[in-house]
Structure 1
Amino acid sequence: MEGQRVYGGVSGDQRREERRARLMAAGLVCFGRDGFAATTTRSIAAESGLTQRYFYESFSGIDDFFAQIVHELGDEWRAKITDAIAAAPPRLPDRLRAGVTAYLKVIHRKPYIARILLVEAFTVAPTVKQVERFLSAMGTVFQEMIAEEFPAKSKVVSDRDALATGYVGAVHHIALRWFRSQFSEPLEKIADVITKLIEGSISGYGAQRTSPPAR
């Protein structure tokens, strides 16, 4: 079997993984530059320097390919956000700012990724479940921060599901507007706006904080 053959010290499985990585990198460029509708297996193969035969070695078609890209990007994005929150000081404003800043840094540093995650993934049928999965995970992050910060019987905790949904939507739409403006304002300003928006909403509940959660 090819996966068991070794050429130049590299197995068939390793070569397949390398080809897949090249195709995925090419997909980021093509989808981010041209959009899903204008991207084809031919253009991806050309961008990667591989033939279309190798595309079908790893993917069943363009829909499957795009869904896998969105899935992997979403997982990486979520990991960066949760890691930033975990490393932040225990106060809610600090944790919020850390998470929001990590969210914004991903799209600011790599505009191709911004278009894929903020625009294309929301308009392509194969990625609807991936988008919902990511948004649900982000909502859970907000819910957990609220639950850790406020007494269990407070109104802000009882309404945390609806609040988290609203916060996720607000973050997405502010980030989308920022992306479409070609990042015309500093990242720090956008992070500050989002943090104050969420903090102001929570303060509107008159919630009394508990002591900072143990870290």
Structure 2
Amino acid sequence: MTGRAYRGMSAEQRLADRRERLMMAAYTLFASPGFPATTIERLCTAARVSNRAFYECFSGREALMQAVYDRCVDETLQAVAAALATAPNSLDGRIEAGIAGYVTFVTKDPRRAHIMHVEVRRAGDCLTTARQRAVRGFSTMIEETASAFPDRMPAENTHLLALGVIGALQELLIEWVLSDVPPPVDQVISTAVHIFRRSFTP
């Protein structure tokens, strides 16, 4: 049962349209003024949907935040994968390409950087599983890249090294988001490259 068409849209299309408008409104509002300050009413006003329509799309703010965060992560993983696909066939080359791909893509839209590195933490425990899934996705990418160059691998546990460098990169981007005078993006990239190289050197 598909429901009656309205203004040329089926019931499923209208639901998808409202969901997308809520996600776009959340993408802006969760970045500023931020997740804690953004009410469902404010989201509905920005998206031009009713409160009832909101709950047809999402169970609450936390579910909407997870959907927005997951999309940001998926798009970033795709950007990094594309950068690695055209990188030189060396560990240094892939480190540089992967980090540049990540940082450049995330900082290109400050809303994405804010949601991925600040607001996801302010959302609390409800986003813990989503954050762990994101970290797992990025750590797997790092581990697979490093494993292609066994002669460059240090004695330490590769998985733990990957988690460590991800944490360092996240802190660099939190600094970029929250600092009154953000460090230049190329400086964030060069610092992260330095950390990655030192971590994956025997």
TM-score by length of 2: 0.90
Q: Mapping of 1:153-172 within 5 angstroms? A: 156=154, 159-172=157-170
Q: Does 1:200 align with 2:198?
A: yes
| Match of residue 88 from structure 1 | 87
Q: Higher Cα Rg: structure 1 or 2?
A: 1
| Match of residue 4 from structure 2 | 5
| Match of residue 18 from structure 1 | 17
Match of 1:180 among 168, 178, 181: 178
Once residues 182 and 132 of structure 1 are traced to their aligned partners in structure 2, the CA distance between those partners, rounded to angstroms, is 29
After TM superposition, give the deviation of residue 181 of structure 1 in Å.
2.2
| Match of residue 129 from structure 1 | 129
TM-score by length of 1: 0.85
After TM superposition, give the deviation of residue 83 of structure 1 in Å.
1.9
Percentage identity across aligned positions?
Answer: 27
Residues 183, 73 of structure 1: CA spacing in aligned structure 2 closer, same or farther, 3 A cutoff? farther
* Structure 1 counterpart of 2:121, one-letter code: F
| Match of residue 33 from structure 1 | 32
| Match of residue 108 from structure 1 | 107
Once residues 156 and 195 of structure 2 are traced to their aligned partners in structure 1, the CA distance between those partners, rounded to angstroms, is 20
Once residues 185 and 64 of structure 1 are traced to their aligned partners in structure 2, the CA distance between those partners, rounded to angstroms, is 32
| Match of residue 55 from structure 2 | 56
**Contact between 2:69 and 2:115, CA under 8 Å: does it hold in 1?**
yes
After TM superposition, give the deviation of residue 21 of structure 1 in Å.
0.5
| Match of residue 97 from structure 1 | 96
After TM superposition, give the deviation of residue 42 of structure 1 in Å.
0.1
Kindly report the root-mean-square deviation, in angstroms, between the aligned alpha carbons of the 2 structures.
1.9
Moved over 4 A (4+): none
**Contact between 1:67 and 1:130, CA under 8 Å: does it hold in 2?**
yes
After TM superposition, give the deviation of residue 158 of structure 1 in Å.
5.7
After TM superposition, give the deviation of residue 155 of structure 1 in Å.
5.7
| Match of residue 210 from structure 1 | none
Q: Any idea what the Cα deviations from partners look like across 1:182-214, whole Å, max 9, x if unmatched?
A: 6733322221221122112323x2xxxxxxxxx
Question: SS state of the match for residue 193, structure 2?
Answer: helix
Once residues 5 and 182 of structure 1 are traced to their aligned partners in structure 2, the CA distance between those partners, rounded to angstroms, is 52
The unaligned stretches of length 5 or more in structure 2 are none
Once residues 122 and 71 of structure 1 are traced to their aligned partners in structure 2, the CA distance between those partners, rounded to angstroms, is 14
* Structure 2 counterpart of 1:185, one-letter code: P
**Contact between 2:146 and 2:153, CA under 8 Å: does it hold in 1?**
no
